[in-house]
C-alpha cells in the first residue's frame, strides 16, 4: 500500500495541482487513518464504512467538525484513487455522511481598522515599502497568501490596474488592483533593486529571494501588534475584509465570487451573513424601538 500512497501523492501534485500545504495535510490524514486501520487489523483494500464511522467517532471531541470533514474527504479521495488503480471496486467512504460544519462567520476588519493597518509600515526603508505594498495588495485584491507570494513581475500590469494569479487547481484569474495598492507597489518597485533580486518574484525577502507564506503571516501579525488593533488578524482576514467591504458597498455576489476564485457561490455567500449581522448591529444601536 505504501507504493499506492506514493502514487496518490504524485496524483495530487501533477493532476489535481494541489499546493504543498494541502498535500501534506492529505498525507497526514492518510497516515492517521492508516494507524487506526492497523489497530483494527484492516487493510485499505478491505476497509468498510463501519471502519470509517468508528474512526470518525474517535475523532469527535478532539477535532473540529471541519477538520473531521477534511479527513473524510481525504479518505474518499484516496479510495477513489484506488478504484482508478484497480486495487478496489467500491468506495465505502461514500456511504458515510459528511459532518455538518459549524457555521462560523468570517472575521473581518472595519474600514477604519483596515486603513490603520495598511498605513502602519514605516515606508522610509525598502522593506517598509514592501510591507505596505503587501498589505495594500492583500486588501485591494483579496488574494490568497499563496497567490500573493506566487506573483511575478510579468503578472502585474499597473497601467491597466490588474494582477494575474494562479489559484487553486491551477486556475488562472485576473483581478483588479486599486489605485492605493498600485501606488504602494510602484513606490516599492522603485526601491526593489536595493534587495539585489535573484528572481522575478514581485515580493522579495531581505536577501532577494521570493518571500514565503510564513513571512507574510509574520508581517501581518507584526503590524497588527504595532497598530494596536485588538483582533487576531491573518492574511486570510484581509481576504475576508476585501469581500465583506465590497458586498457592503453593493458589489454583485457573482463578481465577488469571480475575484475570490470560489468554485461555488455558496462559499462566497458566507459574506452575506457577515453583512446581515452588521446591519442588525447598526439597527439595534440606532432604532428607537429596537
For 173-188, what is each residue's pLDDT tens digit?
888 899 999 999 999 9
Q: What is the pLDDT of residue 290?
A: 47
Q: Which residue's C-alpha cell is 521570493?
A: 210
CA nearest neighbour of 107 among 282, 230, 198, 253: 230
- In the set 144, 192, 210, 240, the catalytic residue is 144
Q: Which residue's C-alpha cell is 492518510?
A: 30
In the structure, what pLDDT confidence band is assigned to residue 101 with cuts at 50, 70 and 90? low
DSSP states along 65-84? HHHHHHHHHHHHHHHHHHHH
Write out pLDDT tens, residues 240-261: 888 888 877 777 777 778 788 7
Name, in order, each residue with C-beta under 8 angstroms of 42's C-beta and a sequence gap of 6 or more. 48, 51
CATH number among 3.10.20.90, 3.10.180.10, 3.40.190.10, 1.10.150.130, domain 2-95: 1.10.150.130
Asked if the model's pLDDT at residue 104 lies above 70, the reply is: no
Can you tell me the mean pLDDT for 284-288? 61
Asked if the model's pLDDT at residue 265 lies above 90, the reply is: no
Active site residue 270: no
Task: Report the alpha-carbon distance of residue 73 to residue 256 in Å, rounded.
Answer: 27
Rounded percentage of the chain residues whose pLDDT exceeds 90:
59
Reading across the β-sheet that carries 156-157, which strands appear in turn? 156-157, 162-166, 172-176
Answer whether 141's CB lies under 8 Å from 246's CB.
Answer: no
Asked if the model's pLDDT at residue 43 lies above 80, the reply is: yes
Write out pLDDT tens, residues 134-165: 999 999 988 989 999 999 999 999 999 999 98
> Is pLDDT larger for residue 192 or for residue 60?
192
CATH superfamily of 111-285: Intergrase catalytic core (1.10.443.10)
Domain with CATH 1.10.443.10 in the chain: 111-285
Active site residue 144: yes
Task: Report the alpha-carbon distance of residue 195 to residue 44 in Å, rounded.
Answer: 51
Share of the chain residues as helix, strand and coil, in percent rounded to the nearest 5: 65, 5, 30
Answer whether 185's CB lies under 8 Å from 132's CB.
Answer: no
- In the set 9, 164, 262, 270, the catalytic residue is 262
Can you tell me the mean pLDDT for 82-97? 92
Active site residue 239: yes
- In the set 192, 210, 239, 245, the catalytic residue is 239
- In the set 168, 173, 187, 278, the catalytic residue is 168
Flag whether the pTM goes above 0.85: no
Cell output for 77: 479521495
Q: What is the pLDDT of residue 40?
A: 92
Asked if the model's pLDDT at residue 117 lies above 70, the reply is: yes
Task: Report the alpha-carbon distance of residue 136 to residue 157 in Å, rounded.
Answer: 16
Q: Which of 83-87, 176-180, 205-209, 256-260 has the lowest mean pLDDT?
A: 256-260
Active site residue 76: no
Q: What is the pLDDT of residue 4?
A: 87
Domain with CATH 1.10.150.130 in the chain: 2-95
- Three-state DSSP at 157 gives strand
Element (H, E) at 54: helix 49-59
Angle ∠(6,64,242) on CA atoms, nearest 5:
90
- In the set 173, 236, 270, 278, the catalytic residue is 236
Amino acid at each position: 500500500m505504501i507504493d499506492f500512497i506514493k502514487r496518490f501523492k504524485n496524483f495530487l501534485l501533477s493532476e489535481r495541482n494541489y499546493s504543498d500545504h494541502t498535500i501534506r495535510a492529505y498525507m497526514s490524514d492518510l497516515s492517521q487513518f492508516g494507524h487506526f486501520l492497523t489497530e483494527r487489523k484492516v487493510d485499505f483494500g478491505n476497509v468498510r464504512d463501519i471502519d470509517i464511522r468508528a474512526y470518525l467517532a474517535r475523532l469527535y471531541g478532539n477535532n473540529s467538525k471541519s477538520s473531521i470533514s477534511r479527513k473524510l474527504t481525504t479518505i474518499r479521495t484516496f479510495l477513489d484513487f484506488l478504484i482508478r488503480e484497480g486495487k478496489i471496486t467500491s468506495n465505502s467512504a461514500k456511504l458515510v455522511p459528511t459532518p455538518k460544519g459549524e457555521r462560523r462567520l468570517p472575521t473581518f476588519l472595519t474600514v477604519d481598522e483596515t486603513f490603520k493597518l495598511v498605513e502602519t509600515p514605516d515606508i522610509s526603508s525598502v522593506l517598509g515599502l514592501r510591507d505596505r505594498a503587501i498589505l495594500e495588495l492583500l486588501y485591494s485584491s483579496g488574494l490568497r497568501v499563496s497567490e500573493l507570494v506566487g506573483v511575478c513581475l510579468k503578472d502585474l500590469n499597473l497601467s491597466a490596474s490588474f494582477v494575474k494569479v494562479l489559484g487553486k487547481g491551477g486556475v488562472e484569474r485576473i483581478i483588479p488592483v486599486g489605485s492605493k495598492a498600485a501606488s504602494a507597489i510602484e513606490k516599492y518597485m522603485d526601491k526593489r533593486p536595493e534587495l539585489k533580486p535573484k528572481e522575478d518574484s514581485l515580493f522579495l525577502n531581505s536577501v532577494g529571494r521570493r518571500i514565503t507564506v510564513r513571512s507574510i503571516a509574520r508581517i501581518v501579525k507584526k503590524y497588527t501588534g504595532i497598530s494596536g488593533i485588538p483582533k487576531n488578524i491573518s492574511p486570510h482576514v484581509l481576504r475576508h475584509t476585501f469581500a465583506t467591504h465590497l458586498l457592503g458597498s453593493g458589489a454583485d455576489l457573482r463578481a465577488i465570487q469571480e475575484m475570490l476564485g470560489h468554485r461555488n457561490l455558496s462559499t462566497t455567500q458566507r459574506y452575506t451573513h457577515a453583512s446581515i449581522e452588521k446591519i442588525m448591529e447598526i439597527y439595534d444601536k440606532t432604532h428607537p424601538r429596537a
